[in-house]
Homo-oligomer: A and B are copies of this chain.
Amino acid sequence: MVAKLTYFAMSGIGDPIRLLLSYSNIEFEDIRIGKGEDWQKLKPTLKLPYLPMLEMDGKTHFQTFAICRYLARKAGLNGSSEEEGLAIDATVDTLVDMLKKTVLDYFRPDSEERSKLLKTSLEVTIPFYLNVFEKQLEENNGYLVAGKLTWADIVVLTLGTYLCGIFKVDILADFPKLKEHRQKISELPVIKEWLEKRPADPEDYRLL
């Protein structure tokens, strides 16, 4: 049976899963629902009121990063020791922290407070976290962990790119290693193919 991923018609936290499914050559139906009526109808029928939702091998799964880790383990992208697994998980959790501290403020109604918060995001919070990742790339031969491709690279590529799209600036401008990393990961053959074939959405935030 073909797997089914249900999410909204956007990159967001759906793309890391879509990309890992593609990387693993797992055929899946990429169901993209509307945020309005579609979602209001579906929501009360679910175990958790969230998307993305992955249906695979007769089971239904929620929680993006739990799903990503699962697919990564199957694909050999979760490092090759418990220590590497820990470093990958900590990197992903740190990226999620950066997103939580910045993305929600972007979607506040326009106000003086919002402008201040966005300024802090762009000038303080985002550079702080990007600096953490830049150092990891320096220490790990151009990858985030263990000197090789892991699912942390894929999550940072997709969600970092999403953040660039939201803020409509290239937040990586002053981070040469991260720019190089984005280039390198997005040119891996399976990933390149997927980036080229994924459907465009005019409302989406996307840089790549």
Contact = CB atoms under 8 A, between A and B. Distances in A.
Nearest to A89: B66
- Tell me what chain A mostly uses at the interface: helix, strand, loop, or mixed: helix
Identical copies of this chain, number: 2
Nearest to A69: B89
A47 B136 CA distance: 11
Contacts of A61: 86, 90
A70 B79 CA distance: 13
A8 interface: no
Q: How large is the interface on A (under 10, 10 to 19, 20 to 34, 35 or more residues)?
A: 20 to 34
A82 interface: yes
Contacts of A48: 94, 132
Interface in A22-74: 47-48, 59, 61-63, 65-67, 69-70, 73-74
Residue from the set A65, A67, A90, A93 with the largest chain B CB neighbour count within 10 Å: A90
Given A48-B94, A90-B61, A132-B48, A82 B66 contact: no
A90 B90 CA distance: 16
Given A62-B94, A74-B82, 13 more contacts: A48-B132, A63-B90, A63-B93, A63-B94, A65-B89, A66-B86, A66-B92, A67-B86, A69-B86, A70-B83, A70-B86, A73-B82, A73-B85
A35 to B, nearest CB: 19
A70 B90 CA distance: 10
A85 B65 contact: no
Given A94-B48, A132-B47, A63 B85 contact: no
